[in-house]
């Protein structure tokens, strides 16, 4: 997961982190944040981008 994440563009990183955290459900944002070493705010931004596109 970390290797794949490191090869993505900035926007794709947010999208990937958002999708993975949403798949996990409750606690997913905190977990993915710690695994990938990114802030929760970046994940929230990715989720907003995903939901705004629909």
Spell out the residues 6+ positions from residue 32 whose beta carbon is closer than 8 angstroms to its own: 17, 20, 21, 24, 38, 43
* Residue 1 lies inside a defined structural domain of this protein: no
- How many domains is the chain partitioned into structurally? 1
In a domain, 2, yes or no: no
**Residue found by looking up tokens 């629909």 in the block:** 54
Q: Does 33 reside within a domain?
A: yes
Is 20 inside a domain boundary? yes
Question: What is the spatial distance between Cα 50 and Cα 34, in angstroms, rounded to a whole number?
Answer: 21
- The whole-model pTM stands at 0.87
Residue 15 lies inside a defined structural domain of this protein: yes
**Residue 30 included in any domain:** yes
On whether the CB atoms of residues 48 and 21 are closer than 8 A, the answer is no
pLDDT digit string, tens, across residues 2-42: 999 999 999 999 999 999 999 999 999 999 999 999 999 99
- What is the extent of the structural domain holding 36? 9-53
DSSP 8: S
């Amino acid at each position: 997961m970390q290797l794949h994440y490191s090869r993505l563009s900035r926007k794709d990183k947010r999208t990937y982190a958002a999708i993975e955290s949403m798949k996990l459900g409750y606690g997913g944002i905190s977990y993915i944040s710690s695994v990938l070493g990114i802030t929760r705010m970046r994940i929230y931004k990715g989720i907003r981008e995903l939901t705004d596109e629909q």
